[in-house]
Amino acid sequence: MRYIISGAAGFIGSHFCDRLLDEGHTVIGVDNLITGSLANLAHLRRNQRFELREQDICKPLQIDGQIDGVLHFASLASPKDYLDHPIETLEVGSAGTRNMLEIAREHKARFLLTSTSESYGDPAVHPQVETYWGNVNPVGLRSCYDESKRYAEALTMAYHRVHGVRTNIARIFNTYGPRMQLKDGRVVPAFLDQILRGEAITIFGDGSQTRSFCYVRDMVEGLYRLMQSDERYPVNLGNPHELTILQFAEEIRRLTGSNAPFVFHALPEDDPKKRQPDIGKARRLLGWEPKVELEEGLRETHRYFADVSAVLV
Ligand code: UDP
């Protein structure tokens, strides 16, 4: 099969390229490198079945030849990045999604949208199940991300209903692992970077807000299975093991043998207080659930960031 994948140089996108190539497919990656990194694809430089186009998907793109699947990963997924670039974030979720859907329609290819747990906003239902419509502040700081992804979901459903495109929508919950950007502000790289530098660990708010962390290998498996399914409505993918941020910080300290102190900062606006995926639907439809324990995933991620930091020094 010949696939096109937006956001190929990003964290999850680059891992998904690896998976497609491992399965014997041909991959055209597209990325404008606003948050992605060529280093994430360096190992594919000589792979004959992989090609990278440095291009912004918000502008129409011409793809010749057969395309069997269009995988839309491009997005500014970290709160720091989307707060720095709110207009680009809205644009990639709207115009970018439209352009990718157009490719799928023209080529009669299947289409996967990587959406987000942020579709639920600061959820009033816990754990979050796909039938919950969410609690999103449409004009808050996070709205550029949340609303662009909600629009992208609506557009994907419209292309399915109007044009019969075979679509899938994944709602990705917090995911971590190698190839995250060390300085993207998200909690896993932030804490590991602080520990590696011997700095204090920054806890936002009182640390009682919760998250559930999925290792990237599990996420890729879930996405790969979803991409082959006939489910058109959103499917949550994430790890249901929920921790407060304070518990999470303690766990990272324990695993890395660090005794870095905690320092408390103000909680960012609209930071969701609780987040845990209900993955009953993914279990039923895809026979999928996360397998990698937090301890194992954090060890691998710590090793990766230690190597990256060593290069940066
Ligand atoms: N967080 C924190 N310290 C940091 C970075 C993040 O306490 O240095 C918190 C943040 O307030 C949020 C959680 O960790 O409650 C996860 O943040 P992240 O930016 O990774 O992603 P989010 O789940 O908010 O999209």
CATH code for position 184: 3.90.25.10
Whether 285 is in a domain gets the answer: no
Token pair belonging to 95: 């115009």
Residues 205, 144 share a domain: no
Residues 190, 121 share a domain: no
Residues 195, 116 share a domain: no
d(CA 188, CA 303): 13
CA of 24 to the centre of ligand 1 (A): 37
Residues 146, 119 share a domain: yes
Q: pLDDT tens digit string along 208-267?
A: 999 999 999 999 999 999 999 999 999 999 999 999 999 999 999 999 999 999 999 999
Q: pLDDT tens digit string along 260-298?
A: 999 999 999 999 999 999 999 999 999 999 999 999 999
Residues 229, 143 share a domain: yes
pLDDT range class, residue 95, cuts 50, 70, 90: very high
Whether 280 is in a domain gets the answer: no
- Amino acid 313: pLDDT: 60
Domain hosting 182: range is 178-211+241-275+292-312
pTM (2 decimals)?
0.97
Quote the percentage of the chain above a pLDDT of 90. 96
As a whole number, mean pLDDT of residues 95-116 equals 98
Residues 140, 230 share a domain: yes
Residues 97, 185 share a domain: no
13 contacts 36 by C-beta, under 8 angstroms: yes
Pocket of ligand 1 (CB under 6 A): 79, 174, 185-187, 190, 202-204, 209, 211, 245, 268, 271
- Looking at residue 135, the DSSP 8-state letter turns out to be B
Whether 282 is in a domain gets the answer: no
- Amino acid 311: pLDDT: 73
Whether 284 is in a domain gets the answer: no
Which residues partner with 3 through β-bridges? 27, 69
CA of 195 to the centre of ligand 1 (A): 16
Which residues partner with 11 through β-bridges? none
Residues 184, 122 share a domain: no
Domain containing residue 44: CATH number = 3.40.50.720
d(CA 295, CA 297): 6
- Amino acid 309: pLDDT: 83
What does the chain come to in residues? 313
* Number of structural domains the chain divides into: 2
